[in-house]
């Protein structure tokens, strides 16, 4: 197992299985430590959050994670307020920000941008989402969520429902779950199935997965249902989006057919695909999932800064 100190986090595929489990241990340790002790862990360190794309959870949970570790935060949430608007390149932006901070968390609409940034950076770069490609910190948070809520990954029957073509959280999570022996079922509206590279990767890993059409009874034998919204901003036309809108909705009635302890997850933001009448149910795990994401980001920052072993 390699040390995390100074490492970039671009794709969970770059992490050994024992390294993923080690991050889970660090997340647990930081929570067990309590708020008062944890705020000395990264005292004096600086996190830069560089977000060229909108975000609520990823950016703010990174920032909250750094504050809870006792560090400082700088950054931007739209390129219009930076010299990018004057034509500055990604390479020059990253090299400059690396002079002002100790670790970078970034989101950018171009696939491969976080990897490109890492090649220009002398400090760790953490990928907070690159286009429709990868979202490794969401996946690590989701893994932590399943371990906390279900106690295992192996043998869990997990359904993925939604826009599986553009939904980067699913691409990264499914490839990680394949390593841990989860059973996966993919349900997508027409034309929004998992991309070929994800299918190929699951097949070569010998993953247990099926692609199916969504029906009301599909929910019956699932342990976990991971729902995603239609990624409207990545659709080719409004018409294509409207044609598929509302083609799947999880509400209290749909859950009446599910196992009593089914866990409903969603990376959020949601649109109409999970009805708010599900929110009060103990099965609704999506806000707890957002909190586990924060706890995992604390672990990632601390590990990559080398301030925890
Ligand atoms: N899950 C997620 O990436 O949310 P944000 O887009 O709000 O960061």
| Same domain (yes/no): 158, 86 | no
| Same domain (yes/no): 263, 171 | yes
Q: How far is the CA of 293 from the centre of ligand 1 (A)?
A: 10
| Same domain (yes/no): 96, 51 | yes
List all residues whose CB is within 6 A of at least one atom of ligand 1.
Answer: 55-58, 129, 138, 267-269
Q: Is residue 4 part of a domain?
A: no
Rounded-to-integer distance, Cα 117 and Cα 113, Å? 6
| Same domain (yes/no): 301, 276 | no
Residue 210 belongs to what H/E stretch? strand 208-212
C-beta of residue 44 within 8 angstroms of C-beta of residue 169 = no
**CATH at 297:** 3.40.50.1370
| Same domain (yes/no): 60, 199 | no
Indicate which residue's Cα is closest to atom 6 of ligand 1.
55
Handedness of CA 76, 82, 88, 94 (dihedral sign): negative
pLDDT in tens, the chain (309 residues): 668 999 999 999 999 999 999 999 999 999 999 999 999 999 999 999 999 999 999 999 999 999 999 999 999 999 898 998 899 999 999 999 999 999 999 999 999 999 999 999 999 999 999 988 899 999 999 999 999 999 999 999 999 999 999 888 999 999 999 999 999 999 999 889 999 999 999 999 999 999 999 998 999 999 999 999 987 776 667 777 677 777 789 999 999 999 999 999 999 999 999 999 999 999 999 999 999 999 999 999 999 999 998
| Same domain (yes/no): 143, 276 | yes
Substitution candidate for ligand 1 out of 268, 271, 292 with most atoms within 8 A of CB: 268
Rounded-to-integer distance, Cα 293 and Cα 309, Å? 20
Indicate which residue's Cα is closest to atom 1 of ligand 1.
267
Q: How far is the CA of 178 from the centre of ligand 1 (A)?
A: 23
Rounded-to-integer distance, Cα 140 and Cα 299, Å? 10
Tell me which residue range forms the domain holding 273: 136-290
Rounded-to-integer distance, Cα 99 and Cα 91, Å? 13
| Same domain (yes/no): 130, 192 | no
**13 contacts: CB under 8 Å, gap ≥ 6:** 175
């Amino acid at each position: 197992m390699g040390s995390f100190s100074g490492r970039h986090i671009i794709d969970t595929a770059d992490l050994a299985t024992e390294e993923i489990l080690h991050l889970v241990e660090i997340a647990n340790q930081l929570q067990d430590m309590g708020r008062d002790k944890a705020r000395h862990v990264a005292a004096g360190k600086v996190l830069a959050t560089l977000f060229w794309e909108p975000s609520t959870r990823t950016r703010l949970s990174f920032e909250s994670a750094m504050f809870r570790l006792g560090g400082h935060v700088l950054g931007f949430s739209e390129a219009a307020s930076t010299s990018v608007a004057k034509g500055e390149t990604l390479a020059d932006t990253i090299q400059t920000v690396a002079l002002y901070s100790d670790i970078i968390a970034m989101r950018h609409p171009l696939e491969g941008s976080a990897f490109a940034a890492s090649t220009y950076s002398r400090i760790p770069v953490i990928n907070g989402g690159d286009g429709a490609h990868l979202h490794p910190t969401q996946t690590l948070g989701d893994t932590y969520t399943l371990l906390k809520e279900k106690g295992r990954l192996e043998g869990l029957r997990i359904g993925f429902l939604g826009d599986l073509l553009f939904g980067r959280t699913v691409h990264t999570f499914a490839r990680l779950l394949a390593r841990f022996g989860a059973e996966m079922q993919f349900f997508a509206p027409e034309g929004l199935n998992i991309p070929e590279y994800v299918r190929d990767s699951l097949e070569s890993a010998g993953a247990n997965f099926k692609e199916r059409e969504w029906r009301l009874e599909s929910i019956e034998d699932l342990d976990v249902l991971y729902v995603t919204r239609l990624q409207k901003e990545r659709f080719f036309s409004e018409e294509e989006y409207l044609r598929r809108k509302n083609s799947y909705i999880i509400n209290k009635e749909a859950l009446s057919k599910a196992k009593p302890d089914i866990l409903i997850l969603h990376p959020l933001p949601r649109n109409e695909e999970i009805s708010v009448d599900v929110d009060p149910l103990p099965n609704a795990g999506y806000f707890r999932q957002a909190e586990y994401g924060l706890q995992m980001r604390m672990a990632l920052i601390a590990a990559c800064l080398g301030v925890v072993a």
